[in-house]
A and B are shown apart, each in its own frame.
Chain A
Amino acid sequence: MDFFTAVYEASVLFVETLSQLRRIYFYRRQIVEQFYSLAVTTLPIASIIAVFLGLGSTVQATYQTSSLTPRYFAANVIFKTLIIEGTPIVLGLVLAGKIGGSLAAEIGSMKISEQIDALQSLSIDPVGFLVMPRVIAGLIMVPIITIYANLVAMFSSFFMSTVILNWITPDEYISGMRMNFKVFEMYFGNIIKPSLCGLIIAFIGSFFGLRAKGGAKGVGIASTTAVVVSAVIVVILDYFTGELLL
């Protein structure tokens, strides 16, 4: 498929989405619905992933740490890797599948069953009614879910290393977290990266949904393409934001 046509069309849609922002109040109901549906569909999976990310990274850290390294230092590594890199990227990829795939399927099936045309025929702009609310929800809800996941992951790591493994005392663990603490890193891992991911995942999902054509097969193609493309962009974005901002 023509890569450049797609990039051009995506840019056009993006500009349209931005221009619909001035009608945020008009579409408030759709936006609230998207916030709700995003939270409900992603919280369970985010919880499971966060718990096991915390456990997994703790097991790794305790295993890799020799008797020569101070243990609070290992706690520091767990804390920083999880918040800045681990949770955001794993969650970003999972949500690329979850949100990107389901948005593309949802909007794609509306496209092939002429529901998008039906919106237009009722003088309702599909970009304002469908795309903009989803993009806003992605932009705001993904960071919130990431903050939640980071909290859960840290707690599960803390619990694992202090109570279950009894490998470090709570005081030591906390002083490890405080070591070399930078506020910007917290913004970076909890807000900046996730909001970019959320925006891109929701936008790409909507974009491929709107391009779907040719029946159920077309919807399937739109959905897988959206997942692959947004996952790739999430990984690339992860590198560049780190490179530029840290």
Chain B
Amino acid sequence: MIEIKGVWKYFEGKEVLRGINLKIEDGMTTVVLGPSGQGKTVLLKNIIGLYKPERGEIIADGISLNGLKKRELFELRKKFAFIFQGSALFDFLTVDENIALYLRMHTKMSKEEIEKKVKNVLKVVGMEGTEQLYPEELSGGMKKRVAIARAVVFSPKYILYDEPTTGLDRENARVVNALINRLKREYGVTSIVVTHDIDCMETVADRVVLLKEGRIIFMGKKEEVKESHLDYLYEMEEGK
């Protein structure tokens, strides 16, 4: 379980997160819904300690991130995988090297074992045969799937998705949503998905959190979300 307790985050005097309180239950997919620029990415990065909150704390499986030494934080992060908004594949490595990197750096697995694992996860995400390609040779949807493969290869307990479907066409978005559900079902992964894509929310969410200007304005089961809750999303999207 991840507990987010009264988290505030500022950037250059600007309040981005204003007292976020949230519990992430194991085995569920929590979707944080909010329009662009509301601090969704910042919230996720606080959870794995890439940013430090100015106030409040994050507690993951009973361990508070505040005051962790770098080494301890790195140890804790091994429970987490992060799917970045732009996939963030390492552009100097091929697809299989991207996926193998974690295993190469942190485990004593042999080359053959790693190769087998990589093949396996590529199959899970439906990207067999792309081992030798470089990220620049992949489409956006393919990159996203490789990023998911890079994440699941070390069997993390938590996966954090930063706008997994943004910028993808319907078909690719459908594939990615199906993957998120499949990872929950088959591997029991606990996920946090931040997005402004309502389709994505409806497909993957168990619980929904609505974020507006750095505050949570609604929290509940997917079934409890009403049209009226989502009005501000449309308004803000149109207002831009």
Which positions in A face B, CB cutoff 8 Å?
26, 109-110, 113-115, 117-125
Task: Report the Cα distance A118→B80, complex, angstroms.
Answer: 11
A124/B101 in contact, CB under 8 A:
yes
Which A residue's beta carbon lies closest to that of B41?
A114
| Other-chain residue from A114, A119, A123 in contact with B86 (beta carbon distance below 8 A) | A114
A121/B106 in contact, CB under 8 A:
no
Q: Interface size of B by Cβ–Cβ distance < 8 Å? A: 23
Q: A123-B106, A124-B105 are in contact. Are A118 and B78 (CB under 8 A)?
A: no
Residues of B within 8 A of A125 (CB): 70, 74
B102/A122 in contact, CB under 8 A:
yes
A118/B88 in contact, CB under 8 A:
yes
Can you show 22 pairs from A to B with CB atoms below 8 A apart?
A110-B90, A114-B84, A115-B90, A115-B91, A117-B50, A117-B82, A117-B84, A118-B88, A118-B90, A121-B48, A121-B81, A121-B82, A121-B84, A122-B101, A122-B102, A122-B105, A123-B74, A123-B75, A123-B77, A123-B102, A123-B105, A124-B101
The 8 closest A-B pairs by CB, nearest first: A118-B88, A121-B82, A114-B88, A123-B74, A114-B84, A123-B77, A122-B102, A115-B88
Task: Report the Cα distance A110→B135, complex, angstroms.
Answer: 13
B155 on the interface (CB 8 Å rule)?
A: no
Residues of B within 8 A of A119 (CB): 90
B166 on the interface (CB 8 Å rule)?
A: no
Q: Give chain A nearest CB distance to B84 CB in angstroms.
A: 5
Binary interface profile of B, 66-108, with partner A (CB < 8 Å = 1, else 0)?
0000100011011011101110111100000000011001100
A123/B78 in contact, CB under 8 A:
yes
| Other-chain residue from B45, B75, B89 in contact with A117 (beta carbon distance below 8 A) | B45
Residues of A within 8 A of B105 (CB): 26, 122-124
Residues of A within 8 A of B90 (CB): 110, 115, 118-119
Task: Report the Cα distance A115→B91, complex, angstroms.
Answer: 9
Task: Report the Cα distance A45→B91, complex, angstroms.
Answer: 26
Task: Report the Cα distance A62→B142, complex, angstroms.
Answer: 64
Known: A118-B84, A121-B81. 14 other contacts (CB 8 A): A113-B86, A114-B85, A115-B89, A115-B91, A117-B45, A118-B82, A118-B89, A120-B48, A121-B80, A122-B77, A123-B77, A123-B105, A124-B102, A124-B105
Residues of A within 8 A of B102 (CB): 122-124
A121/B78 in contact, CB under 8 A:
no
Which A residue's beta carbon lies closest to that of B105?
A124
Residues of B within 8 A of A117 (CB): 45, 50, 82, 84, 88
Q: Give chain A nearest CB distance to B137 CB in angstroms.
A: 16
Residues of B within 8 A of A26 (CB): 105
Task: Report the Cα distance A119→B101, complex, angstroms.
Answer: 10
Residues of B within 8 A of A113 (CB): 86, 88, 91
